[in-house]
Amino acid sequence: MKLLPLAAELALVSLAAPTAVAQSLLLVAQKGGRSLALVDPAAGKVVANVAESGVTGHEVAASPDGRYAFVPIYGNSGVGKPGTDGRTIDVVDLAARKVIRTIAFDHGVRPHCAVLGPDGMLYVTTELDRSVTLIDPESLKIVGSIPTGQEQSHMLAISRDGLRGYTANVGPGTVSVLDMKARKTLAVIPVSGQVQRIAVSPDGQWVFTADQTEPRLAVLSTATNSVKTWVRLSGLGYGSAVTPDGAFLLIAVPDANKVDVVDLSTMTRVRSISVAQSPQEVLIAPNGKTAYVSCIDSNQVDAIDLSTWTVTQHIATGHGTDGLGWAQGE
């Protein structure tokens, strides 16, 4: 595995002293447009589009200081389906609004979900290697990997203390439990015939993944590494996020064009919010006041006010609006 510059003229680009973004940005992976949208969340509009170096990025994560975004270039396939096997991760300077480096694997791995861990490391699911890859975000070097023991480890969530990681393994219908320090698989939890997406509660007690065979949410106990209960949804669920106070989980229901809200004190669905077509991912702003929902068939992001549970913004974005990230401004 090796680190490659985007082009010869970028070989001397340094990450030592970048310019920070002045304001917070909502980051939107536009997989149909092969680009990353930078959105001013206050104004509710795209302020820049950054072209990616390959086909195509589905997810995005920002560095804690808000200077960089990391976009894994997955390829032109769906999970578990034929197509190209991506092998790079774009590094975007958010102030300069351009890709400045590319992290390259020495073979196709289909890198997909990027997460900045509490330890400051960048973790990226690498499906074809049945692993999560560790990258030093300062040197941009690949420094290790954690096996998941399963195929199609598509999405990753990390506990707030950084000790445990959880991957949703789509085709096997399982969740892998990872020891992030020892870099090993602790358990593989059978869930369903197929699962999608994953989230963990702020207190680390619960892990959530959506069953793709029935309209229900699996609630996994981290104490027993088993399915504790199920929550009925208004349709097949997809991406989800937990509010910072741990009170509610919001989950996209693509076929119903809704976001279901689950009360985590009772583990029941308490409301459904209508959004634009085919919601995919949910991201909750760090202040806990607004949830953003990518709606891929409408090429937009809907903003939900979490005090009133109403949609307050429709943000027009590019083709194939999908993964979301948050870059904290100064």
The pLDDT tens digits for 263-319 are 999 999 999 999 999 999 999 999 999 999 999 999 999 999 999 999 999 999 999
Omega before 56 cis (within 30°)?
yes
Q: From CA 303, how far away is CA 290, in angstroms rounded? A: 6
Number of Cβ within 10 Å of residue 153's Cβ equals 33
Q: For residue 140, is it left (φ>0), alpha (ψ between -120 and 50) or beta?
A: left
* DSSP state letter for 57: B
pLDDT at 155 over 80: yes
Which amino acid type is present at position 307? S
CA distance 207 to 315: 30
Say what the pLDDT of residue 22 is.
75
The model's pLDDT over 24-56, given as tens digits with 9 standing for 90+, comes to: 999 999 999 999 999 999 999 999 999 999 999
Alpha-helical (H) ranges within 139-257 are none
Cα angle for residues 265, 251, 45 (degrees, 5° grid): 125
**Cα separation values, 260 from 168, 216, 236, Å:** 20, 11, 11
* Mean pLDDT across 161-175: 98
**Mean of pLDDT values over 52-68:** 96
* pLDDT, tens digit (0-9, with 9 covering 90-100), for 4-16: 443 333 333 444 4
Q: What distance in Å separates the CA atoms of residue 5 and residue 257, rounded to the nearest whole number?
A: 41
User: Phi/psi at 58 (nearest 5 deg)?
Assistant: -100, -30
CA–CA separation, 144 and 16 (whole Å): 23
Q: Which residues pair with 176 in a beta bridge?
A: 167, 188
Helix (H, G, I), strand (E, B) or coil at 312: strand
Does residue 213 surpass a pLDDT of 60? yes
Query: Region 118-131: what's the mean pLDDT?
Result: 98
Phi (first) and psi of residue 308, to 5 degrees? -120, -10
Q: What is the pLDDT of residues 68-97, one digit of tens each?
A: 999 999 999 999 999 999 999 999 999 999
Specify whether the CB–CB gap between 216 and 208 falls below 8 A. Answer: no
Q: What is the pTM of this model?
A: 0.94
| Confidence label for 20 from pLDDT (cuts 50, 70 and 90) | low
Domains and CATH numbers, the chain: 23-240 (2.130.10.10)
**Rounded to whole angstroms, how far apart are CA atoms 250 and 284?**
9
| Single-letter amino acid, residue 150 | Q
Distance CA 309, CA 150 (A): 37
pLDDT for the residue numbered 21:
72
Instruction: Please tell me the distance from the alpha carbon of residue 167 to that of residue 236, in angstroms, as a whole number.
Output: 19
Return the structure tokens found at 41: 């969340």
